[in-house]
Chains A and B, each alone.
Chain A
Amino acid sequence: MKWVEKKWVSVTLLWLAALCIWQLGALIYGPDVIPGPWATLQGGRELISDGTLVQYIGISFYRVLVGWVLGSLLAVPVGLIIGKVNIIRIFAEPFLNFIRFIPPIAFITLFLVWFGIGEQSKIALIMYATFFIVVLNTLTGVMAVEEDKIRSARSMGASEWQILLHVIVPATTPYIFTGIRLAMGTSYMAIIGAEMIASNEGVGYLIWNSRLFFRTDWIFVGLFCLGFMGFFTDRLFNWFGRKVLYRYGVVNVAARRR
């Protein structure tokens, strides 16, 4: 049974099994409740042919990417400072632990009021969804830097600034990377919520709006798009981490488990 353990075999089998169960469900409950694989494919073609699907994926992706990148860029230095400076950490930590329990979706209305119904409110929401996760991970990483590393750098004549740049940042890189990667997931969740409530474009809008026409197949198309978008961005990011940040100890989680 060694051949089952081959990755492409197991993956193919998994997908085939999922397709079968899906099809079975569609046969039992009817296409209005569970649209089958074929019906979903048809729905997808419909949406692709009039251009909406590509446009929606594009807009959702754009929002996530901009908010996520900006949020991360902002969060890393903030996390470094909070982790490095004790006084700031004492004040910031309770606040961080308070606010991280407020899900981004809960802020949608407020953000609409503050930033308007345009792109800004959505991007701000993604930034919010990204920011605290990355800050907390960065901060944890800074706290985990071994004292010996800092001491040895200091006795080799490194200034505090050099210690931050040449010791703390590289030592914290795996934590930052994990934080940014986790933030990607929450960003997708946040954008779908935002698009459902306050948008007329995007994958979230597609899923939400399809209910008006009772097009459950379109909802399925939307769900699949989300899954693929997340999957591929995560893979891409992970690949980047392994290739570029290898020396910092950023490794593939799946590979390490083996």
Chain B
Amino acid sequence: MSSLAGSHAIQIEQLRKSYSAQTTGDVHYIIKDVNLVIKGGEFFVLLGPSGCGKSTLLNMIAGFVSKSGGNLKVDNVEIDRPGRDRAVVFQQADSSLFPWLTVRENVEFGLRMKKTPKAERKQISDRFIQLVGLSGHEKKFPKELSGGMKQRVQLARVLANDPAILLMDEPFGALDAMTRRTMQKELVNIWRETHKTVIFVTHDIQEALLLGERIGIMSVGPSSNITDVYDNPLPFPRDVASPEFYSLYNKIQGHFEE
């Protein structure tokens, strides 16, 4: 294990989440015996069909959902609640952004909670608003922005808190195909610039291959877990049309058709 002790490594051992059926009292597992180690600075994609429990796993890492068994550690510290070190980018920007705050105020939210002085707050929010390409839109309210821009706000908002880990739950799932491609490219750039550890949940094989350094495949629930982990050594920016991409795509798709 010592070789994996990079900064902000996530260690998951025999992790379980169960619930008791209300009528029968039977115990059901949403995820069961998940084992996974994610290195610091890695871009890891959780890939699986809808309802396989990948969001549950992400929410457990975020600290929103408590575990029923096993270990879940970040930097060798057991996780039992949400923390500033793990930022979450939600699928629905409309339900997670604060509509009563402007773009800048949304981005500065975490800093304000931390009581960062105003001047410093502005400096930080300027930097991340620029990083996600929203300069000039600082004074707008979320309802005045398009879907893609709202996700940019979410991204800037969590990056402003300087978290070690970014947890992203199908953040581009609700976007149109074109915006989605742009956002994927920019996310890769932002990741390479900021060196965050990213866990990205998706059910889109192409998206998984475009983004991830490693791709964990989750089996169909209930009692789902990570059955395989694929390495994706292709260099960035990745070319969807390249033969290597195509062969990896087929390999993973074959996995789901079994």
Contacts and interface: CB of A to CB of B under 8 A. Distances in A.
Interface of A: 146-149, 151-159, 162, 166-167, 170-171, 173, 247-249
B114 A146 contact: no
B113 A158 contact: yes
Contact of B95 (A146, A156, A248): A146
16 contacts: A151-B62, A151-B82, A151-B90, A152-B90, A155-B82, A155-B84, A155-B87, A156-B109, A156-B113, A157-B113, A157-B161, A158-B109, A166-B112, A171-B98, A247-B99, A247-B100
Contact of B110 (A148, A149, A156, A248): A156
Contacts of B62: 151, 155
Nearest to A167: B98
A156 B158 contact: yes
Interface of B: 62-64, 82-84, 86-88, 90, 92, 95-96, 98-101, 109-110, 112-114, 141, 157-158, 161
Contacts, number: 69
B95 A155 contact: no
A243 to B, nearest CB: 15
Nearest to A162: B113
Contacts of B157: 152, 156
A151 B88 contact: yes
Interface of A, helix, strand, loop or mixed by DSSP: helix
A159 B82 CA distance: 11
B85 to A, nearest CB: 9
Nearest to A147: B95
Nearest to B169: A148
Contacts of A158: 109-110, 113
Contacts of A170: 98, 100
Nearest to B167: A155
A170 B63 CA distance: 25
Contact of B87 (A148, A156, A167): A156
B82 A154 contact: yes
A157 B96 contact: no
A144 to B, nearest CB: 11
Contact of B84 (A146, A156, A248, A249): A156
Contacts of B96: 146, 148-149, 151-152
Given A156-B113, A157-B110, A173-B100, A148 B82 contact: no
Contacts of A166: 109, 112-113
Nearest to A163: B113
Contacts of A248: 100
B87 A249 contact: no
Contacts of B141: 247
A201 B195 CA distance: 74
Contact of A153 (B92, B99, B109, B114): B109
A157 B157 CA distance: 12
A112 B136 CA distance: 62
Contact of A151 (B64, B84, B99, B109): B64
Contacts of B112: 166
A171 B110 CA distance: 17
Given A155-B88, A156-B113, A157-B161, A249 B99 contact: yes
A226 B101 CA distance: 39
A170 B92 CA distance: 19
Contacts of B87: 155-156
Given A146-B95, A157-B113, A247-B141, A152 B100 contact: no
Contacts of A162: 113
